[in-house]
Amino acid sequence: MLNIFKKKTNSVSDDNQKAQQKKAEQEMMEKIPGAENMGMLQKMAMKKVMKMSPEERNKLMQKMLEPKNIQKNKKQILEMLEQMEKSGQMNKHQVFEAKKRLGLL
């Protein structure tokens, strides 16, 4: 009789590899501050960015931090900085420095 739910015999090594990959991803996410508060899509995006080569990652960050993109999202960035200050994640000086570096003063 054909059993479609029966696992293949060589799938044990595949399962071990998948388990090791998943464990490595979890360890990587534990090192990132605030990862426990991320949503599913944010975690997926973070994993994708972490898997990129350093050159690709730098190119992406440069594109993201262009002045036109910062000015376009100025309101959201300022709200986020204020929220971080209220929650105690950043102090006033850190918020000031972040605004200064992003050109939001």
46 near 38, Cβ under 8 Å? yes
pLDDT at 12 over 70: no
For the segment 64-87, the average pLDDT, to the nearest whole number, is 86
Local confidence band at 36 (pLDDT 50, 70, 90 cut-offs): confident
Regarding pTM above 0.75, the answer is no
SS (H, E, C) the chain: CCCCCCCCCCHHHHHHHHHHHHHHHHHHHHHCCCHHHCCHHHHHHHHHHHHCCHHHHHHHHHHHCCHHHHHHCHHHHHHHHHHHHHHCCCCHHHHHHHHHHHCCC
